[in-house]
Amino acid sequence: MKKSNFPESQFELQIPDPLRTDEMTLSMGPQHPSTHGVLQVILKTDGEIVNSARPQIGYLHRCFEKHAENITWHQVIPFTDRLDYIASMNNNLGYAIGVERMMNLEVNERAEYLRVIVAELNRIASHLIALGTYGLDIGAFTPFLYVFRDREKILDLFEEICGARLLYNYVWVGGVAYDAPEGWREKVLEFVDYFEPKIKEYNDILTYNKIFIERTANVGVIPADVGISYGVSGPSLRGSGVNFDLRKDDPYSVYDRFEFDVITGKGEMGTIGDTWDRYWVRVAEMYESAKIIRQAAEQLPEGDAKETIPRNIKVPAGEYYMRTETPRGELGYYIISDGGKMPNRVKVRSPAFCNLSVLPAIAPGVMIADLVAIIGSLDIVLGEVDR
């Protein structure tokens, strides 16, 4: 083979590799069945192998933060519902607690317990959706409808206590919007009893299915240090074996009164931090949430849940960063008040956004089908990514 143009030349002729293939740019989304909303991922692929993945966000931007500067303290709450529309109760909770701490407001006991119950119920509902849609991403359709069947029962409970099924506006600054109706507590306990055995069914049909394990184990491994440096939080970080749960590490509301375990990934089916671990953390967390709900519902004190709701919210000038553990991870509200009727600034540190940001780091080298599995296992909600 001729190597150079001239015998003595130091310039070598580039001979194209006959086996070299071109990269293909693939636009996955915003209209794609498994991007969980309107996410666009620009893929550079070599056949089935992904060389790079670049998430493009902003298709669902609704200016929450700017809106919050122009509405009263209380009116922000319905807007927080719409950040992570699958776990609205948890979003309400973070904002409400943040404002309460700025006001130095003591909240009624009963309201605190109700808050914990609804937040944990909502965590179960959110994890159920994560499970179901993950099954859908992998190609199993049936578990999706099983989890929706059970989620529906949670939504019925929510509808009974606050009248809404998705966007609750329930957790208010200083308390909750409605006290629990007659018999609601018993229904919650009934649901927990019904729900716990159902998790075994999901395990039978999906979690321990060999095909599912093959598809998810050893795929999309997020090492703990990479996860931490990208700011991944919630089940996605715990799947990498990091014991970090704000309910334990930085307790808010009355979480310090309940007994529950923080689930971390153990790498049972493959490497620590693979998609199966993240998935499994969610499954196991539903047990823990059920445990918390049972304790809270049994200890639920008597009283008036609306007792401590202030007539006018007067927030002294200052700033506060409130972080709570939502089903997706650490949701932070950075609130600045100038003492006026409206917040001066509400900045949201959204867990889904940070979790998504790790995608380009772990995507190279996986297959397209794996990329779908990875996006699914990060459990993003585009409403929160774009805000």
Partner 1 sequence: MEPLVQFFYILLPFLRDWPEWLALTVIGIVAALLMFGFVAIFALFAIWLERKVSAHMQDRIGPMEVGGWHGWAQTIADTIKLLVKEDIVPENADRILFKLAPAIVFTAALAGFAVLPWTQDFIPADLNVGLLYILSVSSFAVIGILMGGWASNNKWSLYGAMRSASQMVSYEIPVALALLAVVMNAGTLSMRHLVMAQSGNILDWNVFNFFPLTAVAFIIYFVASLAEVNRTPFDLPEGESELVGGFHTEYSGMRFAFFFLGEYANMYVVSAIATTVFLGGWLPPFEFLSFIPGPIWFVGKAMTMVFIQMWLRWTLPRLRVDQLMYTCWKVLTPFSFAIILLIGLWKVI
Partner 2 sequence: MKQYFKNIYEAIATILVGMGVTWRHLFTRAVTVQYPHVKRELPERSRMQLFVDMDDCIGCMQCQRACPVDCIDIKTIRAGKEEDLGEAGNGTKKKLHVVQFYIDMAKCCYCADCVFPCPTGAIRMTPEYEFITYDRSSLLINFSQYSDEERAALEERERKEKEAQAAAKAARLKAAEEAKKTAAAQKDESKSE
With CB under 8 A as the contact rule, the residue among 163, 339, 340, 364 that binds partner 2 is 163
Q: How far is the CB of 269 from partner 2 (least distance, A)?
A: 11
- Contacting residue, 13, 26, 211, 317, with partner 2 by CB under 8 A: 211
If we measure between CA atoms, which residue out of 319, 378, 313 comes closest to residue 350?
378
Q: Which is nearer to partner 2, 205 or 262 (CB)?
A: 205
- C-alpha span between 155 and 343 (Å, rounded): 31
How far, in Å, CA of 83 to CA of 79, rounded?
A: 7
CA trace torsion 225, 231, 237, 240 (10° rounding): -20
Cα gap 25→53, rounded to integer Å: 10
Binding marks (x or -) toward partner 1, 16..55, rule CB under 8 A?
Answer: --------x-x-----xxx-------------x-------
Q: Which of 40, 52, 72, 209 binds partner 1 (CB under 8 A)?
A: 209
Query: Any contact of residue 135 with partner 1 (CB under 8 A)?
Result: yes
Residue 169, contacted partner among partner 1, partner 2, none, CB below 5-8 A by kind:
partner 2
Kindly write down the DSSP assignment for every residue of 162-196, as one continuous string: HS-SS----EETTEESSPPPTTHHHHHHHHHHHHH
Q: Is 52 within 8 Å of 363 (Cβ atoms)? A: yes
Name residue 142's amino acid: T
Site pattern 181..200 for partner 2 (x: CB under 8 A): x-------------------
Whichever of 202 and 252 has its CB closer to partner 2, that residue is 202
- Asked if residues 38 and 60 have their Cβ atoms less than 8 Å apart, the reply is yes
Are 121 and 89 in contact by the 8 Å Cβ rule? The answer is yes
Q: Is 205 near partner 2 (CB under 8 A)?
A: yes
74 binds, options partner 1, partner 2, none, Cβ within 5 to 8 A by partner type: partner 2
Q: Counting every residue, how long is the chain?
A: 387
Helix (H, G, I), strand (E, B) or coil at 345: strand
**Cβ proximity to partner 2, 92 vs 236, nearer residue:** 92
Q: Is 210 exposed, middle or buried (0-12, 13-18, 19+ CB in 10 A)?
A: exposed
Nearest to 214 by CA among 369, 75, 52, 99: 369
Site string for partner 2, 68-97 (x = CB under 8 A): ---x--xxxxxx-x----------------
Of 156 and 261, nearer to partner 2 (C-beta) is 156
368 binds, among partner 2, partner 1, none (CB under 5 to 8 A by kind): partner 1
In whole angstroms, the minimum distance from the beta carbon of 203 to partner 2 comes to 9
Residues in contact with 383: Cβ distance below 8 Å, sequence separation at least 6, in sequence order: 37, 60, 82, 83, 84, 85
Nearer of residues 201 and 261 to partner 2, judged by Cβ: 201
Binding footprint of partner 2 on the chain (CB under 8 A): 71, 74-79, 81, 142, 146, 149, 152, 159-164, 167, 169, 177-178, 181, 201, 204-206, 208-211
Binding footprint of partner 1 on the chain (CB under 8 A): 24, 26, 32-34, 48, 135-142, 145-146, 149, 205-206, 209, 211-212, 214-215, 367-370, 372
